Amino acid sequence: MFDLQQRITVAAQASQANTVSIRRHLHAHPELSFEETETQQYLAGQLKELGIPFREIAGTGLLAEVKGEQGSGPVVALRADIDALPIQEANEVPYRSQNDGVMHACGHDVHSSSLMGTAAILNEVKANFAGSVRLLFQPGEEKLPGGATLMIKDGALKNPTPAAMFGQHVHPPLPAGTVGFRPGIYMASTDELYLTVHGRGGHGAMPHNAVDPIVISAHIVTAIQQLISRQTDPTLPAVITFGRIESEGGATNVIPNAVRLQGTMRTLDEAWRKELHLRLEKLVTGIAAAFGGSAELKIAHGYPFLKNDETLTRWAWDEARRYLGEDRAVELPIRMTGEDFAFYTHHLPACFYRLGIGNATRGINSPVHTDTFDVDEACLETGSGLMAWLAVRRLGGVG
């Protein structure tokens, strides 16, 4: 087994330069969710060079497969998302985004190039395992309904259903060369809230002749927090945040007719998620009516909570320590961010882990979704090698 580990390590090192080149190309040519046509074509070209069969899926996605030469066996699936964000990049680097207002600020360029590096490694060691490794290059992670739903609908998890699935995501707080795991519930469900509060406009100096939707909105926002602090089980994490509030018209002395609010709701329990939907509707309509106005709440159902299979994730954590070293695979805390990889975790045993990309000495520590986000590209060797190791080990690789 040491020989196989050494072969994968050497292959990851040998493919690093090409993996970096792929990452930089993707970073310089980002595309928004479900618009990744050039990204798809570029990745398809890389798969053709490797001689790995693939097909288009979910519009702008790709599904490829590396078959082991030890005979038939189970399938292990590996997923990378390929879309970018509507952010104007501020970094002055040779691979800076060439697409105005679009940036790989969440590391999906790392995920995609790393998986392509994994594909190259698997190609080199396919004589050492049975079964096959299915590669999912998935579009639209950043936008509802989430590209994962389309991949599943188009059969990415069928014929046959994978025995296990792995996904990785960049994590700036972890230094490059390290990874993080969390068995069990790890990330939150994500729903989008769109609330319109209707009142009756009027003169700001004569509020008694109007129905002020701004005051109603203020009461609603404050009251909604009580759903979390007084109606949610204190041991159950849940968050409701409004990130945008704007009136239809209005001025320093003008009460508007309506106010629109946009927010997010997150929790780690599907039953309470459904209950919160009902209580939100009742609360906002009730408060608005009590003040003489009305309210309309639209909830865009997003991603479910992400639950890492306990057995698979603990196994992967152990294997990461074996491959990278005892101190290079750490435990992660629960987080309230969301991920559409969660859909996969509700269909089959899956493990979603974090890939360290930070380098404090070089000042590479910007959070994801910021215009200065970047990575220490040494992470690509770790990401591609570890994914290959997990896949081959799960398939009982020998050598």
Number of domains composing the chain:
2
For residue 399, being part of any structural domain is answered with no
- In this structure, the answer to whether residues 174 and 249 fall within a common structural domain is no
Per-residue buried b or exposed e for 142-179, using 16+ beta carbons within 10 Å of the residue's own CB: bbeebbbebbbebebbeeeebbbbbbbbbbbebbbbbb
Q: How confident is the model at residue 308 (pLDDT cuts 50, 70, 90)?
A: very high
Q: Is the peptide bond before 145 cis (omega within 30 degrees of 0)?
A: yes
**What is the rounded average pLDDT of the residues 57-61?**
98
- In this structure, the answer to whether residues 257 and 147 fall within a common structural domain is no
* Model pLDDT, residue 399: 66
Residues found in the chain? 399
The whole-chain average pLDDT of the chain stands at 97
**Which tens digit of pLDDT belongs to each residue from 132-188?**
999 999 999 999 999 999 999 999 999 999 999 999 999 999 999 999 999 999 999
**What is the rounded average pLDDT of the residues 303-316?**
98
**Which tens digit of pLDDT belongs to each residue from 356-387?**
999 999 999 999 999 999 999 999 999 999 99
Domain end marker among 271, 300, 329: 300
pLDDT at residue 249 greater than cutoff 90: no
Domain at 371, CATH number: 3.40.630.10
- In this structure, the answer to whether residues 138 and 265 fall within a common structural domain is no
Nearest by Cα to 395 from 166, 168, 109: 166
Residue 263, domain extent = 191-300
* Model pLDDT, residue 2: 63
Read off the tokens for 210: 């109007």
pLDDT at residue 397 greater than cutoff 90: no
* Model pLDDT, residue 1: 59
Domain end marker among 272, 300, 328: 300
- In this structure, the answer to whether residues 150 and 208 fall within a common structural domain is no
Which residues have CB under 8 Å from 379's CB, separation 6+? Answer: 110, 114, 170, 176, 177, 355, 356, 357
* Model pLDDT, residue 21: 98
Domain end marker among 243, 271, 300: 300
For residue 169, being part of any structural domain is answered with yes
Tell the residue number behind the tokens 């759903």, with chain if given.
227
- In this structure, the answer to whether residues 352 and 266 fall within a common structural domain is no
Domain at 290, CATH number: 3.30.70.360
Per-residue buried b or exposed e for 215-246, using 16+ beta carbons within 10 Å of the residue's own CB: bbbeebbeebeebbeeebeeeebbebebeebe
- In this structure, the answer to whether residues 204 and 164 fall within a common structural domain is no
Q: How far apart are CA 176 and CA 23, in angstroms?
A: 15
SS3 101: coil
pLDDT at residue 398 greater than cutoff 90: no
**Which tens digit of pLDDT belongs to each residue from 6-31?**
999 999 999 999 999 999 999 999 99
**Which tens digit of pLDDT belongs to each residue from 257-284?**
999 999 999 999 999 999 999 999 999 9
